[in-house]
């Protein structure tokens, strides 16, 4: 079955970077885009961007341009999302999700990133 | 960016009764390929979101048939025919027609 398993929770200081991983299994990794979506505590969902695991091509929301980088390791079926210049309001649960069914059909369990001094 | 507006933001429902959530987009979600990329997601407490409905009215695999979606253009509706206890959570509409993808604010469904 399709599974997306994310790395564990992180605590970072303002200005630092965080790198979250998302390991895919149960399907052909290169066939489906991976999106990143975040959710601040008690808030709604915010789309950050996507990566084409086949080509490495990316599209990011303008809000995150220059601060987010998504990469992939096709040999391990892992996608990484790195967010730099962390601010307090980057505290959120970060989800990876597979782009399919014209939407996002399978989701990782989420990774809590806490930005705290 | 396309703004997605959901109403109501909170919906207390009696078990076994229907529930309806509306989602309106700030511009048409009809893609140049003719499809309308509007989907509905459910997020149960403490869980990641789960896809329920895609392209307005298509139920995703394993989704009970008490969930249905309808609409066109800029106005869309998610209906639950008879609410069950496991339906408690927050429901989001999402558009995948244009970048960036955007979500509604969420509608909390709770049992009265």
Work out the angle at residue A67's Cα, subtended by the Cα atoms of residues A24 and A58, and round it to the nearest 5 degrees. 45
pLDDT at A100: 86
Q: Considering only the beta carbons, identify the residue of B49, B60, B92 that sits closest to A101.
A: B60
Nearest chain B alpha carbon to A105? B51
Q: Are strands A78-83 and A103-107 parallel, antiparallel or unpaired?
A: unpaired
When scoring B3, B30, B38, B51 by the number of chain A Cβ atoms within 10 A, the one with the most, hence best to mutate, is B51
B79-89 residue pLDDT tens = 999 999 999 99
Closest alpha carbon to B79 in B67, B97, B93: B67
Q: Is residue B89 helix, strand or coil?
A: strand
In chain B, DSSP finds a helix count (H) and a strand count (E) of 0, 11
A27: confidence class by pLDDT, cuts 50, 70, 90: very high
A28-65 residue pLDDT tens = 999 999 999 999 999 999 999 999 999 999 999 999 99
* Percentage above 70 pLDDT, chain A: 100
pLDDT at A102: 86
pLDDT at A65: 95
* Percentage above 90 pLDDT, chain A: 97
Structure tokens at B96: 């995948």
């Amino acid at each position: 079955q399709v599974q997306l398993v994310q790395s564990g929770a992180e605590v970072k200081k303002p200005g630092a970077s965080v790198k979250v991983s998302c390991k895919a299994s149960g399907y052909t990794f290169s066939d489906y885009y991976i999106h990143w979506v975040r959710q601040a505590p008690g808030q709604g969902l915010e789309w950050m961007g996507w990566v084409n695991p086949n080509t490495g091509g990316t599209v990011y929301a303008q809000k995150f341009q220059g601060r987010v980088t998504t990469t992939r390791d096709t040999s391990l079926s892992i996608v990484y999302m790195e967010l730099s210049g962390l601010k307090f309001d980057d505290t959120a649960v970060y989800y990876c999700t597979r782009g399919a069914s014209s939407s996002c059909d399978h989701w990782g369990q989420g990774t809590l990133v806490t930005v705290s001094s | 960016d396309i703004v997605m507006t959901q109403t109501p933001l909170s919906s207390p429902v009696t078990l076994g009764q229907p529930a309806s959530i509306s989602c309106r987009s700030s511009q048409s979600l009809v893609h140049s390929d003719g499809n309308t990329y509007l989907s509905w997601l459910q997020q149960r407490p403490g869980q990641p979101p789960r896809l329920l409905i895609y392209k307005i009215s298509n139920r995703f695999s394993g989704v009970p048939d008490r969930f249905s979606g309808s609409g066109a253009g800029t106005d869309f509706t998610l209906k639950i025919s008879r609410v069950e206890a496991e339906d408690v959570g927050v429901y989001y509409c999402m558009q995948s027609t244009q970048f960036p993808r955007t979500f509604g604010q969420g509608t909390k469904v709770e049992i009265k």
